[in-house]
Structure 1
Amino acid sequence: MGINRRQFLRGAVGAAATAAAAPIADAAPFDRREPKTLPPKAVGMLYDSTQCIGCKACVAACKEANGMPVEQPQRLADWNEGTWDTAEDISGKTLNVIRVYQNGAMTQKDREVDGYAFVKRHCLHCVDPSCISVCPVSAMRKDPITGIVTHNPDACIGCRYCVYGCPFNVPQYQFDQPFGRIAKCQFCNHLQKQGKLPACCDVCPTGASLFGLVEDLQKEAERRMALKPGELYEFPRGKLSGDRSGQVAPVGEYQPHIYGETESGGTQVRYLTGVPHEKLGLPKLPDHSFAAVSEGMQHTLYKGMIAPLALLGGLVVLARRNVKSDEERHKDDEERPS
């Protein structure tokens, strides 16, 4: 008896699973591969939400520095008569945006109940990026010295795996273009090569976006958290340990965790906030990267060629079963009286 294509594929998968079950059951569970660590001179950003005033100077500077067009949702285009950039989130046209949290009467900044808060949204430049792990053509790259995650449009094939793989939903595809590209914050890598600061950090008037070495930014964040709420502190502006005068302001009441320190294996952008992170759209994530898990599974499956051999074995079993069925059918035909 013959089989059709669907039956063949279904049988092949079933046979492969059966053949693979025994060796995998005896093997150790899937292990995460070793986590990646910060590069020696990793640079990043400390974003202090309590110091952000929502002026969006960083958004405008980012647009100018990266040659990105103005973005206006249709529902707001008539209201601002095409004069203001009113992007509501990052997209193929917007690499960096300020969003606002609002609750109740909104009487006090950085309060969860009856308050409001600002949050900056852009690439967090993961220590162990999922976008790099899933990219089949190495269009996503991580600088071995600074750790900045960049995108090479000339190598990109537009598969958008990075869009689906990023736990922060950062890479965006330009669907409105006939030959769309992936767009993401590259931490103004082109400006840094000229000895300049990332545009968003350069123009921030309060120091809410602060540039520096990740290790130094982590210490700065811990220093702020150790202060009492309301205590005056000189917040650096532009670059940590730079030559700009800081802004003296009272310290806010921070959440007890520095976001980005452990999330998804750690990021090079760290957040200090007064409102719980999830309220600001910062996802709750495990302390390991998804790339470490998926690559660990792949290495386990292909170790000793378990998965390919199991599939081959399943196909062989199915083929032999089909041949045997044909032989039995011919035998029955010969024995049937004419």
Structure 2
Amino acid sequence: MRTETRKPASDGKPRRKFLKGCLGAAGTAVAGGAIGTLSTPAAARDTHHRPPEALGLLYDATLCIGCKACVAACKQANDNPPEFSTVDKLWDTPLDTSGHTFNIIKMYRHGTMTTKDAESNGYAFMKTSCMHCADPSCVSACPVTAMTKDPVTGVVAYDPDACVGCRYCVVACPFGIPKYQYDSPTGKIGKCELCRHRVADGHFSACAEVCPTGATLHGRTRDLLIEAKRRLALPAGSLTRYPRGSIDGGPEQGYEGHVGNYQQHVYGEHEYGGTQVLKLSAVPFEKVGMPNLPPESSAATSETIQHTLYGGLLMPFAVLGAMTYVAKRNVHHDQEEDDDGGGDPNSPAATTGPGREWS
């Protein structure tokens, strides 16, 4: 008759011990890293400001007639293909900005839609394109500097040769502007770059060049801001002269028109640290699709947190090193238990070692 005694099979204690050790080591490393970084914290930076010579656009929704000439001109200037939202596919009909549509005119509608630029029973237009933020989150989030901000013009530019297709810029932008070209074999991003490639030929933003009413105006942001505040100070319904194309184009390019019943706010003057594209509207900006943003850019906050926690990559390496040490120590300990017959009962140690007795 055979009788046998063996060590109890492993009840998971070594594994739990291993996990507890890893968590403990990671917690100690994190705490140590936090203490170290708190003792020498990264200085929280302020939100960046627009460069003195920053270029941008002023969009006046009360002057926009929704002709979408700016949409067609943007497509032509950037060699972008049409996008169809109808079955017949006769016209370029994008519903939103995309990797191939950098500028679009959207429409606010309410009730009977009888009065232009009226919040109640009215309609209004709103231009959607890159705002060229003073402190852009897309530039801050890009790990390979594919997104850059020109130190002189302030134009937020994109370099497809540097891009790795991570789409961090897409997630970071509070306006939802950078869009991924899913049909691109190299994974490109599409966005307005203020037609910077046309400057050498003596041109400026195509959307402003073709706008028949001057609803989109090109120029230095500081001059556009002065023009915007001039309009807000005028009585609604009064006559004034509106420039067209470029704010520096001269009086011959302007025309006389009636002042709209503006919201007393220049969108982009302070939002998100300021933008180089400014907007005027008679309908509240929240209702025409513009987000309500704080005066500080989130790029300043996110960079401060990242630099504090991961400065020099010391804390991640400390956590990784501690977990590696604990893993090696516990794996070696478990192997010794297996050699003593305390592991797998079907292993050679469990069959012939001192943990099994025969009689």
For this structure pair, what is the TM-score category when the shorter chain's length is used for normalisation? 0.7 to 0.9
Q: Give the SS at the match of 2:62.
A: helix
Q: Distance in 1 between matches of 2:125 and 2:302?
A: 34
Shift of 1:307: 3.0
Aligned-pair CA distance for 1:108: 0.9
1:186 and 2:190 are equivalent in the alignment: no
Q: Distance in 2 between matches of 1:9 and 1:135?
A: 32
User: Alpha-carbon deviation of 1:320?
Assistant: 9.4
Letter in 2 for 1:253: N
Aligned 8 A contact 1:16 1:313 in 2: no
Q: Secondary structure at the match of 1:277?
A: coil
Alpha-carbon spacing, 1:214–1:320, altered in 2? closer, same or farther (3 Å)? same
How do 1:156-305 and structure 2 match up within 5 A?
156-243=163-250, 244-302=252-310
How far did residue 301 of structure 1 move? Answer: 2.1
Deviation at 1:170, TM superposition (A): 0.5
Q: Offset at 1:308?
A: 4.1
Whichever residue aligns with residue 51 of structure 1, its letter is L
Q: Indicate the larger mover: 244-253 or 285-294.
A: 244-253
Give a deviation string over 1:250-272, Cα, whole Å, max 9, x none. Answer: 11111122111111111100011
Contact 1:31 1:297 in 2 (8 A): no
How far apart are the structure 2 equivalents of 1:193 and 1:11?
A: 61
Letter in 2 for 1:67: D
Shift of 1:17: 4.0
- Deviation of 1:32 (Å): 3.9
Identify the range of structure 1 (18-27 vs 198-207) with the bigger mean alpha-carbon deviation. Answer: 18-27
Checking the alignment, whether the CA contact within 8 Å between 2:65 and 2:125 is kept in structure 1 is yes
115-124 or 250-259: which moved more?
Answer: 250-259
TM-aligned CA distance change 1:208 to 1:295, over 3 Å: same
- Kindly, what percent of the aligned residue pairs are identical? 50
Distance 1:317 1:140 in 2: 39
> In the TM superposition, what is the alpha-carbon distance from 1:115 to its structure 2 partner?
0.9
Q: Does 1:38 align with 2:50?
A: yes
AA partner of residue 208 (structure 1): A
| Alpha carbons of structure 1 residues 174 and 312: separation in structure 2 relative to 1, 3 Å | closer
- The aligned amino acid for 1:89 is D
- Number of matched pairs: 332
Cα distance between partner residues in 2 of 1:153 and 1:129:
18
Q: Structure 2: which 5+ residue stretches go unaligned?
A: 1-12, 343-354
Residue 132 of structure 1 is matched in structure 2 by: 139
Determine which structure has more spread, i.e. the larger CA radius of gyration: 2
Does structure 2 conserve the Cα–Cα contact (< 8 Å) formed by 1:100 and 1:119? Answer: yes
TM-score computed with the length of structure 1 as normaliser: 0.87
2:128 and 2:21 mapped to 1: Cα distance? 48
| Aligned partner of 2:93 among 66, 82, 86 | 86
Q: Is the 8 A contact 1:44 1:269 kept in 2?
A: yes
| Alpha-carbon separation, structure 2, partners of 1:203 and 1:225 | 24
Cα distance between partner residues in 1 of 2:185 and 2:313: 42
Q: How many Å apart are 1:241 and its aligned residue?
A: 2.8
SS in 1 for 2:70: helix
Residue identity opposite 1:281 in structure 2: G
